[in-house]
Structure 1
Amino acid sequence: MNKQPDTAFDNSTHKKVTRKVSVAVIGAGTAGQNAFRQAKKIKDDALIINDGFWTTTCIAVGCMPSKLLIAAADRAYDTNHSSEFGIHATAQIDGKQVMERVRAERSHFASYIEEQVDSWSEDSKIAGRAYINKQGLIEVNDELIAADKIIVATGSSPFIPDGWADKLGDTLLTSDTVFELADLPKSMAVVGAGAIGLELAQAFTRLGVDVTLFNQVKRVAGLKDDDINNKAIDCLSHELTMHLGSNITDVGSKAVGSQRNAAAFIDYEDSAGKMQQWQGEYVLVATGRRNNIHELGVENLGVKLDEKNRPQQLDKKTGKIGDLDVYIVGDANANLPLLHVASDEGFSAGSMVCDNKKDAYIRPPATPFSIVFCSPQIINVGMSLPDIEQDPTLEHVIGKVSFDNQGRSRVMGVNCGLLHIYGCKKTDRILGASMVGPDAEYIGHILAMAITNDLTVKDMLDTPFYHPTILEGLRTALHDVQDLMEIPYQSLDTQKNNS
């Protein structure tokens, strides 16, 4: 580091520096492990320090256990809702087995990461909580480490509003603790209608839990396109009890029954301004996540944080902070807390420690892309509609398709949805898209690939769309974009004949 002492002693504490390394990675999640692996290719003395589990947020408390819960929920839902096909059945849900499978399969996925970590030499990894002191040295356990470059990848933790933990006590759940439930509860409130809140609220509902979803604004999944947001609320409200636009005034728990079991309560003002109270077994707080760097001491390296602990002067390609030899990557930088973004940022930061920058491979920033795995799924790709509308240089059109009567969607009984594609009239390129509907994850990938590879709307329409598929809805929306652009459509065959 620039603040590394000239001697092998920390003069403020009189502790001897136990080792000097070229690169120290703090945090062993997705970004940290990628950064360490890449740095280790170049610097033999690269070191990784981690406090807590040595897997990833995705595997331990995020993507994978939530999808395992959703998979069980979807099986139950399909069993209970097949009467329109002439199939009548009722799912018998074993809550303990559901949760046991979630944890067992999570352990299976984690074993691959743990095997990789076990393969690293013992002298290249330290289990413990790191702190960067005022001399720029890393204090961890009984060691004092001087590093030329530091990569911070300490991840994030669930955000809990002030006072809620004390008031709710054992009735409080977060995405970090909910998968440890031994059995499915009878009732639950979910606070927050972002990706985590929506996915878990719907999954538990489908598994027979009485779920009520609260959100302060009348939006779900952070949708910024009003029409898509309204359609998402319409589709989801068929099975979810939602109090959108509600203001929670108090939370707590109280003893009930002869066994003094705790019950949670939420006092709230509904969207009509009327005071109400919810009571139930648990409150799952899904009000977002915050990075874990506030107690790390990065300010001692010259890193400046804003009021939300986000690092300033951040290079979003590499995670580098200004001219410092400090890199903050993954959820720790609060840029885009998504696994594929964390992976790319970690890889790029690990590559940047190469002395010969010509050989360093920096992955370009990915096209913005997010998926919410509720049903119907929700995606956002590229620029948002408000960002497009605020740019006076972008003359845009909105191509639309409804999935309410789309052929294959209706065949499958999943016909609720809407897709908007934002096209640029000057360039015939796709600026972004937003969608709620069936197979949105696949449509989102196709649109992200088109934006990343600079494909025109015509390029996309010249590719085959097999019939009957839900993806034909994408073609309909693309045709709508082209019609609004008033660009005459020529098929690939017509082009070949003309040439």
Structure 2
Amino acid sequence: MTHFDLFIIGAGPGGYVAALEAAKLGKTVAVAERREVGGTCLNRGCIPTKALLRAARTYRLATHSQELGIHADGASCDTAAMYRRTREVTDSLRGGIEALFKRGKVELLRGTARVEGPGRVSVDGGEYTADRILIAAGSRPARPPIPGLDLPGVVTSDELLAGRGADARRLVIIGGGVIGVEFAQVFSDLGREITILEALPRILNNMDREISQNLTMILKKRGVSVHTGAGVSRIEADEGGLTCFYTEKEQEARVFADCVLVCTGRKPETEQLFAPGAEVPSERGFLRVNSDFETGLSGVYAVGDVVLGGIQLAHAAENQAKNAVRAMFGAPRLKDLSLIPACVFTDPEIAAVGITADEAKAADREVIVRKSLTSANGKSVVEGAERGFAKLVFDRASGVLVGAQLMCPHAAEMIGGLTAAIVGGLTEAQIERTVFPHPTVSEILSLD
């Protein structure tokens, strides 16, 4: 029976980063993966979505650039070619991960893994032992109990990224979170008829209120129909495709579609992961962990989407993995996990880190908010930005930066620097002394 210092279940962002981190520490490592390396992020999430966003935005720019003096007569969209390019990108990146495994002498085992007990794992019948086990099994799209969700033409993000429904002229999106608004961006840019049905009071409900309001107005201006406080009751098939019934302001309404995309959250991939008697404390399938990411079963750890109360973001899983591996083997932790930036790749981009003014108010914390508009930023105007801004939130007593919310071109690239500023304890006065280059979108952060 082969023994390893660390056995990892799942080769997504949490799993493969943990493997490489442990290999750096000189440990013997095995990773079991039943699908493709790279997990949801690389194969059914972040990367393919961004590849489609790039293609769709290029098409929109080609067909809506008359004001720039650009006339791309006869421009067309080849959906099959878009998806082919997306697969090429993911194939290339998967190959890169596998090459890193070989370089780090990480053993990749193809198959379905199960924890048999402390220090024991099986993979499709083969048995292995390990000093420590790390669960990084990821998540899958959740399917709410809506009648009609099993009809042909109703898909999750997994199926849509595989091409099912990609040619639909009318797309109804159930869910106005990050996944929903990014797909709305893709397919509205391609000229499709898009409707968003969100049960909560606003889209991107967990982000700054003004971000939600602005994005709603931008999407509507581009022809997207946005309905909030809209609870979907059922989906029915008809001769023309699908009919989605929903209730808004206590009135039943309906919308017709060729395809319905369901993106109402994700559930952890923990079913049948543990043998009888080897289960760990969990809630709704999410695993409870301590500050070192250890579960209730000695020597078994968990990171990423399977963790109860965690943030389902690839970079959160990656950095949890680094800290967890170092905690396992007595090395100092590398990452401050109290601040996890979030990005939404709409146009304009959205990014946030730390607390918002509303969250500070709810916590009875006094803050100062400094806000700048993209309409006063030369580079943003040149790039055609719509209704954008930057908000920097400072603690009133200390002047320290505690939050940032951006809605502007390149927001996702800028939020990393602001995260570093919060971690480093930079104050309003220090940022005010900073010189930002011209003409750049980063000038929007200048406080003078």
- TM-score (norm. length: structure 2): 0.90
> What does residue range 172-183 of structure 1 map to in structure 2 within 5 Å?
172-181=154-163
Contact (CA 8 Å) 2:118, 2:299: kept in 1 or not? no
**What secondary structure, in the 3-state scheme, does the structure 1 residue paired with 2:204 have?**
coil
Aligned residue identity for 1:273: E
Superposed CA deviations along residues 315-373 of structure 1, whole A, max 9, x for unmatched, are: 2xx4223683221012221511212211111122222332xx2x454433152210100
Aligned residue identity for 2:244: I
> What does residue range 79-98 of structure 1 map to in structure 2 within 5 Å?
79-90=62-73, 91-98=75-82
1:238 equivalent to 2:210? Answer no
Superposed CA deviations along residues 298-323 of structure 1, whole A, max 9, x for unmatched, are: 884463112x33333432xx422368
Superposed CA deviations along residues 133-166 of structure 1, whole A, max 9, x for unmatched, are: 46774233222334332110001111111356x6
**What secondary structure, in the 3-state scheme, does the structure 2 residue paired with 1:104 have?**
helix
Per the alignment, residue 285 of structure 1 pairs with 262
Match of 2:10 among 18, 27, 31: 27
> What does residue range 127-146 of structure 1 map to in structure 2 within 5 Å?
127-133=110-116, 137-146=120-129
Aligned residue identity for 2:158: D
Per the alignment, residue 393 of structure 2 pairs with 422
Q: 1:65 to 1:280 in 2, by over 3 A?
A: same
1:247 equivalent to 2:231? Answer yes
Q: 1:19 to 1:236 in 2, by over 3 A?
A: same
Aligned residue identity for 2:245: D
Per the alignment, residue 273 of structure 1 pairs with 250
Contact (CA 8 Å) 2:118, 2:300: kept in 1 or not? no
1:464 equivalent to 2:435? Answer yes
Q: 1:223 to 1:421 in 2, by over 3 A?
A: farther
Match of 1:342 among 311, 317, 332: 317
Match of 1:115 among 99, 103, 108: 99
Per the alignment, residue 490 of structure 1 pairs with none
Consecutive unaligned residues in structure 2, runs of 5 or more? none
1:72 equivalent to 2:43? Answer no
Aligned residue identity for 2:151: G
Q: Give, in whole Å, the separation in 2 of the partners of 1:44 and 1:465.
A: 44
1:372 equivalent to 2:344? Answer yes
Match of 1:321 among 291, 295, 317: 295
Q: 1:323 to 1:309 in 2, by over 3 A?
A: closer
Q: 1:461 to 1:298 in 2, by over 3 A?
A: farther
Q: Give, in whole Å, the separation in 1 of the partners of 2:437 and 2:39.
A: 38
Contact (CA 8 Å) 1:131, 1:296: kept in 2 or not? yes
Q: Give, in whole Å, the separation in 1 of the partners of 2:195 and 2:412.
A: 26
Q: Give, in whole Å, the separation in 1 of the partners of 2:439 and 2:5.
A: 57
Superposed CA deviations along residues 89-140 of structure 1, whole A, max 9, x for unmatched, are: 4532222222222222222222212333456769x33222122346774233
Q: Give, in whole Å, the separation in 2 of the partners of 1:225 and 1:121.
A: 44
1:303 equivalent to 2:280? Answer yes
**What secondary structure, in the 3-state scheme, does the structure 1 residue paired with 2:157 have?**
coil
Aligned-pair identity in percent equals 25
Deviates more, 1:397-406 or 1:197-206: 397-406
Shift of 1:454: 1.3
**What secondary structure, in the 3-state scheme, does the structure 2 residue paired with 1:283 have?**
strand
Q: Give, in whole Å, the separation in 2 of the partners of 1:217 and 1:60.
A: 29
> What does residue range 400-439 of structure 1 map to in structure 2 within 5 Å?
400-439=371-410
Deviates more, 1:361-370 or 1:340-349: 361-370
Aligned residue identity for 1:244: T
Match of 1:397 among 368, 388, 395: 368
Q: 1:273 to 1:418 in 2, by over 3 A?
A: farther
Q: Give, in whole Å, the separation in 2 of the partners of 1:163 and 1:144.
A: 41
Aligned residue identity for 2:227: H
Contact (CA 8 Å) 2:23, 2:104: kept in 1 or not? no
Shift of 1:293: 1.6
**What secondary structure, in the 3-state scheme, does the structure 1 residue paired with 2:151 have?**
helix
- TM-score (norm. length: structure 1): 0.82
Contact (CA 8 Å) 1:415, 1:438: kept in 2 or not? no
Contact (CA 8 Å) 2:11, 2:38: kept in 1 or not? yes
Per the alignment, residue 388 of structure 1 pairs with 360
Q: Give, in whole Å, the separation in 2 of the partners of 1:161 and 1:428.
A: 44
Q: Give, in whole Å, the separation in 2 of the partners of 1:433 and 1:135.
A: 43
Contact (CA 8 Å) 1:160, 1:287: kept in 2 or not? yes
Q: Give, in whole Å, the separation in 2 of the partners of 1:382 and 1:150.
A: 32
Q: 1:326 to 1:159 in 2, by over 3 A?
A: same
Per the alignment, residue 89 of structure 2 pairs with 105
Deviates more, 1:53-62 or 1:111-120: 111-120
What's the Cα RMSD here?
2.6
1:58 equivalent to 2:35? Answer no
Q: Give, in whole Å, the separation in 2 of the partners of 1:330 and 1:441.
A: 21
Superposed CA deviations along residues 42-64 of structure 1, whole A, max 9, x for unmatched, are: 56543322221123322111111
Shift of 1:250: 0.5
Q: 1:363 to 1:442 in 2, by over 3 A?
A: closer
Shift of 1:31: 0.9
1:363 equivalent to 2:335? Answer yes
**Larger C-alpha radius of gyration, 1 or 2?**
1
Q: Give, in whole Å, the separation in 1 of the partners of 2:297 and 2:422.
A: 32
Shift of 1:178: 1.3
Shift of 1:464: 1.2
Q: Give, in whole Å, the separation in 2 of the partners of 1:411 and 1:52.
A: 44
Superposed CA deviations along residues 180-224 of structure 1, whole A, max 9, x for unmatched, are: 217532221111111111111111111122221111123222344
Shift of 1:248: 0.5
Q: Give, in whole Å, the separation in 1 of the partners of 2:250 and 2:406.
A: 31
Match of 2:242 among 258, 264, 274: 264
Consecutive unaligned residues in structure 1, runs of 5 or more? 1-17, 258-262, 480-499
Q: Give, in whole Å, the separation in 2 of the partners of 1:142 and 1:299.
A: 16
Aligned residue identity for 1:419: A
Shift of 1:419: 2.5
Q: Give, in whole Å, the separation in 2 of the partners of 1:434 and 1:250.
A: 36
Contact (CA 8 Å) 1:103, 1:179: kept in 2 or not? no
Q: Give, in whole Å, the separation in 2 of the partners of 1:438 and 1:377.
A: 6
Deviates more, 1:110-119 or 1:425-434: 110-119
Contact (CA 8 Å) 1:236, 1:376: kept in 2 or not? no
Deviates more, 1:416-425 or 1:191-200: 416-425
Q: 1:125 to 1:227 in 2, by over 3 A?
A: closer
